[in-house]
Every structure is written in structure tokens, then in C-alpha cells.
Amino acid sequence: MSTTRMLVAGTRLHLALAGRLPLDAPGLLASTRAFPLGPDRVQVVTDLRRLEDLFDGQCLDDLPGLPSRASRRRQIEFIGGRLAAERALARAGANPEAPVARGSRGQPEWPAGWTGSISHTASHAYAVATRASGPAGIGIDAEVVVDSRTRADILSICAVAEELPRLERLGRENEAATLLFSAKEAYYKCVFPLARDFVEFDEVVLAELDPATGRVAVEPTPRTRFDGVLPRARGAFRIQAGILFVGLVADPSTGGAEYA
Ligand SMILES: CC(C)(COP(=O)(O)OP(=O)(O)OC[C@H]1O[C@@H](n2cnc3c(N)ncnc32)[C@H](O)[C@@H]1OP(=O)(O)O)[C@@H](O)C(=O)NCCC(=O)NCCS
């Protein structure tokens, strides 16, 4: 392991920020239930505008673990996600010194025995943390509900034929397209520890969508190169103030071998 990698893997941002940022400042970090996941999944949100205000123009380039050549906005987004993840892990009972490193494909590397997921909007960074119950984990995604032009793009790029009747039953076309995209992004995050590779949108399918309860399930299609590798994932979505929040948890009984 290189020195840089050791530094990244061994450093928690909230420790690196001690003395530079009042992490207990009102309105910075808060518990949330934005994602419809069970109560044993701890969710924390960072207010990114508050974070930027608190930094008050400080240069952030020396902080450990930041993605290289990141813009200021991306630095704030990344720090916000890590702070939320570290707070969520601590609230869930993990060792408060255990870091959430950044893997070579951008994936968060959770401490042994724990898993979680991170998502951002322009104004907030969200994280969920929970005990790991298998190699695949949990995936969350928050997306602004798209307009009708983006809806057409999503349907042409991300949809497979069998999903269309399900999406139509939801009725609200822009929300349905946002859900399709967002659920597949959440699925990718959830199963990345198994896939360790890019998963194409047509390799997975929104297999269930209950408009009444918001419950959804995503699973690999028979066409996937990950056949027998990737599990089904179940979860739910909700929409609040124009943002769609979806959370998925892998069902280890439906697959879960590492992709060689
Ligand atoms: C990685 C990806 C899913 C991120 O989604 P996004 O909507 O652009 O961004 P979000 O803010 O919701 O999520 C970003 C966070 O996802 C996490 N993430 C990035 N790559 C990841 C991976 N391979 N596995 C798990 N989580 C990952 C990171 O924590 C990242 O935040 P950070 O860099 O600040 O730590 C997306 O950019 C991507 O590459 N998608 C292509 C693959 C895909 O979605 N396939 C769909 C069919 S399964």
C-alpha cells in the first residue's frame, strides 16, 4: 500500500477538520429519514451551504483523501458526504476512528463489518450506514425530479421494454423516469462490492414498482454479464420538495458471488 493510500485509508475527515471547523455548529449535520429504509439504517445529512459558510473561504487542498483536481464545489460535496458517513457510522455504533476511504472507482470503502452509501444533491450530502450482512450492501440515491426533455433521454438510455408498463402505472411521467434512473444508480452502488465494474443500465431491470406504497425492487436481467453474480435488491422511494429519494438493500439469498 502506498503512503498516500495509507494516509487516505487511515484518516477520518472529521479528525482532520478538528480545530478548523465547528462540527457541532447548528444546522450543519442532522439525522434524517429522507430515504425510506428501516430504522436500523442510520441516516445523516450535511447542509452543504452551511458547510461552505463555516469554511469561510479556507483553502481545502491540504485535506487528506479528497479526489484529485476537484473543484471547490466538488471538495465541499465530498467533505459533506464523508462527514455525514462518519457521523452515521458513529451513531450506528462503529468505531469512531474507523475511516471511510475512497476506492479506485470512487466507491466508499466502509470499515470492516459495516456498509453504507452516499448521495448528494446541489444543497445536501446524504449518507446511510448499517452493519454489513453480506458482500453486497446498500445503495441510496437522491435526484431532482427531471423535466420532460430529460425524461425522454432517460427512457431512451436507461429503460428496458418490460419496465415501461410498470412506469406507466405510476402515472406521473417525470417522476417515473427519475425513479427509473435513480433506482438503477442506487442499485449500482448497492452491488458494486460484487461487480467491481461498471454495470450498464440495460443489464438491470426495475422488476417491481408499487405506486401505492413506493416499494421497488431491482434485479439483473438474463442478458447481464453478471448472471448469477448480482442479487436482487429491494427498497422504496419517496418524493419530497421535488427530490426523489430511493434506497435499496441487497437480498443475499438471490445471488452474491464475486465477479471474477
Ligand atoms: C457512481 C454513480 C452511481 C454516482 O451517482 P450520481 O447520481 O452521479 O452521484 P451521487 O451524488 O448520487 O453519488 C455520488 C457518490 O456515490 C458513491 N460512489 C461513487 N462510485 C461508487 C461505486 N462504484 N460504488 C458505490 N458507490 C459509489 C460515492 O460515495 C460518491 O460520493 P463521493 O465521491 O463524494 O464519496 C454514477 O456517477 C455512475 O457512475 N453511474 C454509472 C453506473 C450506473 O449507474 N449504472 C446503472 C445500472 S446498474
Contact 65, 82 (CB under 8 A): yes
Q: Which residue has the higher pLDDT, 259 or 112?
A: 112
165 lines ligand 1 (CB under 6 A): no
% of the chain exceeding 70 in pLDDT: 94
Read off the pLDDT of each residue in 211-227 and give the average, rounded to a whole number.
Answer: 93
Pocket flag, ligand 1, residue 185 (CB < 6 Å): yes
Domains of the chain in start order, with CATH, are: 3-132 (3.90.470), 139-254 (3.90.470.20)
Higher pLDDT, 171 or 256: 171
Decide: 115 in ligand 1 pocket, CB within 6 A.
no
pTM, entire model = 0.94
Q: Is 110 in the pocket of ligand 1 (CB under 6 A)?
A: no
Q: How far is the CA of 184 from the centre of ligand 1 (A)?
A: 10
Q: Which of 8-17, 118-127, 135-144, 185-194 has the lowest mean pLDDT?
A: 8-17
Q: Is 106 in the pocket of ligand 1 (CB under 6 A)?
A: yes
Q: Whose CA is nearest to atom 25 of ligand 1?
A: 189
Report the pLDDT averaged over residues 240-245: 97
Q: For a substitution probing ligand 1, which of 46, 178, 185 has the most ligand atoms within 8 Å of its CB?
A: 185
Ligand 1 centroid–CA 108 distance in Å is: 9
Å from CA of 117 to ligand 1 middle? 9
Cβ(118) to ligand 1 under 6 A? yes
- Give the count of beta carbons closer than 10 Å to the beta carbon of residue 58: 12
For residue 74, which atom of ligand 1 is closest to its CA? Answer: 34
Contacts 24+ apart (CB under 8 A), 241-244: 242/144, 242/145, 243/121, 243/142, 243/143, 243/144, 243/145, 244/142, 244/143, 244/144, 244/145, 244/175, 244/178, 244/179, 244/182
Confidence of residue 9 (pLDDT cuts 50, 70, 90): very low
Task: Using the predicted structure, report yes or no on whether residue 151 has a pLDDT greater than 70.
Answer: yes
pLDDT tier at 259 (50, 70, 90 boundaries)? low
Residue nearest to atom 28 of ligand 1 (CA): 107
pLDDT at 7: 39
Q: What is the mean pLDDT of residues 120-148?
A: 94
Ligand 1 atom nearest residue 187's Cα: 48
Q: Is 119 in the pocket of ligand 1 (CB under 6 A)?
A: yes
Residue with the nearest Cα to atom 43 of ligand 1? 185
One-character DSSP codes across 99-113: --EE-TTS-EEPPTT
